[in-house]
Structure 1
Amino acid sequence: MADIEQLDAARAMRRAMLGDAYVDSVTSDPEPAAAEFQDYVTSMAWGVWARGGALSPRDRSLLVMAMTAALGRMDEFRLHAGATPRTGVTDEELDELLFQVAAYCGAPAGVSARRALKDVRAAARQDTKEGA
């Protein structure tokens, strides 16, 4: 696959998993360096999602959340936890994931991720109430 085709596939996967509103918000900066940075991030991070292989988007989502929680990257953890309706990860799977994080990465990582998940779920409930 040509580089531009790979980037287009990565862009499409990013939009499918995170939604148009989020992607539009982070790619709207007109500065050339910002656009180049977004293409780089999209190519590297989302290119691996779009490459196919044995892992489903659901599996990749679980892995990304485990890794971001383990690394203490709570902004990214929140982003991906909020995308679970699009990735196919269930609430029960995400709850179980946090036990794994706490056991293998330490209680502080698990506790931080649990707090972040609580915030994500509260925001989702609020959005549902406002949309009703």
Structure 2
Amino acid sequence: MEAHDCSGADAFESGLVHRRRILGDAWVDRSLDQRTAFNGEFQDLITRHAWNDIWGRPAPGDRTRRFMVLSMMLATHAYDEFAMHVRAALDGPPDSRLTPDDIKEVLLMAAIYCGVPVANHGFGIATAILREKGLLQAFAPPSDPV
């Protein structure tokens, strides 16, 4: 992945490439189809700045950014965006995809640094998504130590 130093229409187009890579075509198409005279400039702004200027940077890489974004969405109680990024992380390209265990680790860390209520809410959201995708495994209690 290489950084894209561009502006205007080029920055928007470059941002769309990154946005589609991370969130998938269906999500991006729905977002763009919902543009109005009221929110269109906002869609342009986030595509150019979040998706081009930030996600287009070469370091630290998409997988690390996914961990960062999930953590920040929990810390700021941005639960709709957390759900969106959980889905994107599970469905993303193999080199940046997160596993259910990866997401669980983010949530366990959030319990300590953001608070148990935040992690509890996040576990509820992630559990529903994992169930929807058929990725939820039955609980296996830890075995007794020898």
User: What TM-score range do you get, normalising by the shorter chain?
Assistant: 0.7 to 0.9
Alpha-carbon distance in structure 1 between the residues aligned to 2:101 and 2:35: 40
User: Residue 2 of structure 1 is aligned with which of 3, 6, 9?
Assistant: 6
Superposed displacement of residue 40, structure 1: 0.8
Of 101, 107, 119, which residue of structure 1 is paired with 2:128? Answer: 119
Q: Share of identical aligned residues, percent? A: 29
Structure 2 segments unaligned to the other structure (5+ residues): 136-146
Q: Is residue 23 of structure 2 the alignment partner of residue 18 of structure 1?
A: yes
User: Does 2:66 correspond to 1:61?
Assistant: yes
Instruction: Show the 5 A alignment for 1:23-62.
Output: 23-29=28-34, 31-47=36-52, 48-52=54-58, 54-62=59-67
TM-score, scaled relative to structure 2:
0.78
Moved over 6 A (4+): none
Per-residue CA deviation, residues 83-105 of structure 1 (Å, 9 max, x unaligned), is 11303112211111111111111
The residue number in structure 1 matching 2:140 is none
Match of 1:91 in 2: 100
Q: Is the contact made by 1:72 and 1:112 (CA closer than 8 Å) also made in structure 2?
A: no
Larger Rg: 2
Q: Which amino acid aligns with 2:99?
A: T
TM-score, reference length from structure 1: 0.86
Contact 1:13–1:46 (Cα < 8 Å) also in 2: yes
For residue 30 of structure 1, report the CA deviation from its aligned partner: 5.1
- Matches of 1:90 and 1:75 in 2, distance apart? 19
* Counterpart for residue 105 of structure 1: 114
Shift of 1:14: 0.6
Residue equivalent to 2:144: none
Q: Hey, what does 2:143 align to over in structure 1?
A: none
Contiguous gaps of at least 5 residues in structure 1: 127-132
